[in-house]
Chain A
Amino acid sequence: DSGVTQTPKHLITATGQRVTLRCSPRSGDLSVYWYQQSLDQGLQFLIQYYNGEERAKGNILERFSAQQFPDLHSELNLSSLELGDSALYFCASSLGTGENEQFFGPGTRLTVL
């Protein structure tokens, strides 16, 4: 158990819908990262927040947005969902910024039908 929690574990929805994925980092960690993992693309970095502020941005689509709240939990919002958005979404946390070891949550499996 990494100490990072993600909800929900599974999510099934339809094209065009909007969903919110939630992540609680390990106690004391200030950074939260979001990743998308699909079979053909591997693990893709989406975005990082550090202490409530956006720190680094990866291949995140405009339909996706995220935020980190004052209690350091984070949410990833996915809208206008497409079939290709079906993937495993991981959240990770670390004490500081990029060079620190990241602890991954169990992931949310999103299926878009």
Chain B
Amino acid sequence: GQNIDQPTEMTATEGAIVQINCTYQTSGFNGLFWYQQHAGEAPTFLSYNVLDGLEEKGRFSSFLSRSKGYSYLLLKELQMKDSASYLCAFLNRDDKIIFGKGTRLHILP
């Protein structure tokens, strides 16, 4: 079967670093997405990982381990505007995108 799992909620402090983990299971895998979604708004693209390793993009970095079925999103120097849901999703070999239920991140001042 196919499934994807990420924590439901996390809390972090402004200025700190937070890591949001995502694990997935699928028989065919093409790549892994991270999207950010503020409450009441549409998701916006953060990253897409195909190869193992860490990709850095400003304050956000995304890591992938294909052999472990594992990814994480690392957010540095947290700002209040980073309070949002973070959606992990994988693309399978049939070009279907499977989203996790999202991690709601709360940032405390």
Contact = CB atoms under 8 A, between A and B. Distances in A.
Given A43-B87, A90-B43, A107-B42, A99 B48 contact: yes
Interface in B27-59: 30-31, 41-45, 48, 50
A106 B91 contact: no
B42 A105 contact: yes
B46 to A, nearest CB: 9
What is the interface of chain A mostly: helix, strand, loop, or mixed? strand
B98 interface: yes
B31 to A, nearest CB: 6
Interface string B86-104: 0101010011111111100
Contacts of A98: 30, 91, 95-97
A55 B96 CA distance: 9
A106 B38 CA distance: 12
Interface residues of B, number: 21
B91 A104 contact: no
Contacts of B87: 42-43
Given A42-B101, A56-B96, A58-B96, A104 B44 contact: yes
Residue with the greatest number of chain A CB neighbours at <10 A, chosen from B41, B48, B50, B97: B97
B96 A2 contact: no
Interface string A45-77: 100100000011110000000000000000000
Given A98-B30, A99-B30, A99-B91, A45 B96 contact: yes
A43 B45 contact: no
Interface of A: 2, 33, 35, 41-45, 48, 55-58, 90, 92, 97-99, 101-107
Which 8 pairs from chain A and chain B are nearest by CB? A104-B42, A42-B101, A98-B95, A56-B95, A43-B99, A101-B45, A98-B91, A45-B97
11 contacts: A2-B42, A41-B101, A42-B87, A43-B87, A45-B97, A45-B98, A56-B94, A57-B96, A99-B31, A99-B91, A104-B44
Interface of B: 30-31, 41-45, 48, 50, 87, 89, 91, 94-102
